[in-house]
Amino acid sequence: MAALPPAPSTGLGTWKSRLLSHEMLLFYVLIALWLFFYFAGTTVNRRGVTVGFGTLDRQFDILRHSCEIGLLALALTPIIITAGIDLSVGSLLGLCAILFGQLWHDGGLPIPVAAGLTLVIGALAGGLNAVLITALRIPPLIVTLGTYSLFRGLAEALTRGSITYTDFPASFLYLGQERWLGLPTQAWIFFAVAIAIGLLVHRTTFGRAFRTIGFSPEGARYAGIPVARRLALAYVLAGLVAAIAAIIYTARLGQAKADAGTGYELFAITAVVLGGTSIFGGKGSVIGTLLGVAAIAVLKNGLACLPVVMRMNAAEEMSGLLTGALLLFALSAGVVSQLWSGFRQRASAT
């Protein structure tokens, strides 16, 4: 007990490499999934049905359909790193889509102005979450469960559950349905947001603060970090990004309706957690979130071109089932590796 050699470092080096390995692992799974669907999809092609998975068009289609959930997942990443949660982003997407439609259609505002106002509204809605969480100290889960219903309810009320805004100008639909410089137009926005949030989380003092709060809110407070303001930033940002997702959603479908984005928050949370961000806070990365989004997207779209699934007409159900299984596997793999390292530490301590 007396003269032990210094224990091997359990510093950031190993922690980082473990995180990296989680992301690398997810990356391999993603490649494997893709290859599987690529070859499984070709057989369909040989039978003369043109739903091949491996085509470039198909990839772009997947990307196009992933942008909204991807944006929400990006918005949730800083929040989950602070050990918080935001269940209201999907509902806020719906509310913002409706408000955007109203501002343009009923308010007669030009599209860019309506879009700008929608972003402000999104940020304000995120601000409502932020105030309830930081000033009144209500747990994020409860607050955003409330605003989850509130935002969706408002959207339904504003449209009396029936109005759908359509007939958007082609110049606007270009954002959601065309390609720009070879990629689906909205993908550029998605990547820009991804880079911005990536930089925020990994390269700025704000990201540091998120991580510190996630690991130890009390420790952050005692270090003079403005905990409430940093948390507020994360939720306001989520509101803003949800509004961006709402505009893209409207542009892709060419219509704004109250049920836009229903259930998206769960896909987004799944993608974040699958990407290695700890629901307990502190650990996580934006790259991981992107991989998580990609894995879910490939799984969902790939299943749709499997002949077996097509015959059963059960792509949705299958993708839900497999996403759930993948998520549980990823989570338990994380816990098992933690238990293992804890066990090794204890073994080396005695």
Q: Cα–Cα distance between 312 and 153 in angstroms, integer?
A: 35
Shortest distance in whole angstroms from residue 332 CB to another protein: 21
In angstroms, the first-to-last Cα distance of the chain is 8
Contact between 212 and another protein (CB under 8 A)? yes
Contact between 342 and another protein (CB under 8 A)? no
Residues in the chain: 350
Contact between 219 and another protein (CB under 8 A)? yes
Which residues are registered as beta bridge partners of 256? 165
- The amino acid sitting at 50 is T
Shortest distance in whole angstroms from residue 283 CB to another protein: 8
Task: Pick one of 97, 123, 175, 209: the residue that binds another protein (CB under 8 A).
Answer: 209
Structure tokens at 3: 């003269």
Contact between 5 and another protein (CB under 8 A)? no
**CA-CA distances (angstroms) from residue 68 to 42, 104, 176, 293?**
28, 21, 11, 10
Which is nearer to another protein, 15 or 180 (by Cβ)?
Answer: 15
Task: Pick one of 3, 4, 5, 9: the residue that binds another protein (CB under 8 A).
Answer: 9
Task: Pick one of 218, 335, 346, 350: the residue that binds another protein (CB under 8 A).
Answer: 218
Q: How many residues bind another protein (CB under 8 A)?
A: 30
Largest interatomic CA distance in the chain: 79
Which is nearer to another protein, 6 or 112 (by Cβ)?
Answer: 6
Q: Cα–Cα distance between 99 and 118 in angstroms, integer?
A: 7
Structure tokens at 157: 């009320």
Cβ contacts of 274 within 8 Å, gap of 6 or more: 26, 291, 292, 295, 296, 326, 327, 330
Specify the DSSP class assigned to residue 121: H
Contact between 224 and another protein (CB under 8 A)? yes
Task: Pick one of 3, 7, 136, 335: the residue that binds another protein (CB under 8 A).
Answer: 7
Q: Cα–Cα distance between 296 and 31 in angstroms, integer?
A: 12
Task: Pick one of 221, 307, 315, 322: the residue that binds another protein (CB under 8 A).
Answer: 221
* Residues within window 271-300 making contact with another protein, judged by CB under 8 A: 282
- The amino acid sitting at 197 is I
Shortest distance in whole angstroms from residue 277 CB to another protein: 14
Shortest distance in whole angstroms from residue 232 CB to another protein: 14
Burial environment of residue 340 by CB neighbours within 10 A (0 to 12, 13 to 18, 19 or more): exposed
Contact pattern for another protein over residues 167 through 206, marking x by CB under 8 A: ------------------------------------xxxx
Can you give the binding site for another protein, defined by CB under 8 A?
Answer: 1, 6-7, 9-13, 15, 203-209, 211-212, 215-216, 218-226, 282
